[in-house]
Amino acid sequence: MDRGIRQRGLLCTFLAALWLTGCGGFAALDAGSGRASALPVSKRTLEPTPEGREVVMYALGLIGTDYRFGGKNPEAGLDCSGMVSYIYSQATPLKVSGSAADIARLGRPVSRQSLRPGDLVFFNTQNRPRSHVGIYIGEQRFVHAPSTSGQVRIERLDSGYFASRFEEARTYFD
């Protein structure tokens, strides 16, 4: 991994730590006044579990990592399921592996409104159920390893492409 990618990863990890310790949880800045205001429940990020926090920090630390089909570690590159398996093995005692569909079968279903940081989101991107997986980080955003553009990045659940392909969410945490 080159120095620039590592520095971006460290910056993302630092920002995630700030966000997860209270700088982005249950209040948001009102665009007009600049003051904090409570968000409706459907717009808030539910509080993550301790494991979820760790998962998000690891995920954000991999931003900019190269995509590689079948990739299972950051040095060689990651695909979506390899990224999830790698992060969960580093951040939790849980072992998740296999394809996105295999990973989905092991988790407990959660509604989109009940997503917490660290939960997994699944999409139909190849005319196959659960063909893509990402890690939810809060506020309608997730980290994933896309095959296009070639690097791990953040996307929005409510963007046109992913909103129309979202299938389900799963959690591995209590």
Give tens-digit pLDDT for 98-149.
Answer: 999 999 999 999 999 999 999 999 999 999 999 999 999 999 999 999 987 7
CA distances to 6, 64, 118 from 57, in Å? 14, 14, 9
Task: Give me the pLDDT at residue 6, please.
Answer: 47
61-106 pLDDT, tens digit per residue, is 999 999 999 999 999 999 999 999 999 999 999 999 999 999 999 9
80 classed as catalytic: yes
Q: Which is catalytic among the residues 20, 55, 80, 120?
A: 80
| d(C-alpha 162, C-alpha 57), whole Å | 22
Residue 134: closest CA among 169, 96, 174:
169
Q: Which is catalytic among the residues 53, 116, 130, 144?
A: 144
For residue 54, pLDDT over 90 is answered with yes
DSSP 119-151: -EEEE--SSSTT-EEEEEEETTEEEE--SSSSB
Q: Which residues contact 108 (CB under 8 A, 6 or more apart)?
A: 170, 171, 172
Q: Which is catalytic among the residues 91, 132, 162, 169?
A: 132
12 classed as catalytic: no
Superfamily of domain 3-19+48-171: endopeptidase domain like (from Nostoc punctiforme) (3.90.1720.10)
| d(C-alpha 132, C-alpha 76), whole Å | 20
For residue 18, pLDDT over 60 is answered with no
| d(C-alpha 67, C-alpha 148), whole Å | 8
Tokens, residue 149: 């553009």
Stated pTM of the model: 0.77
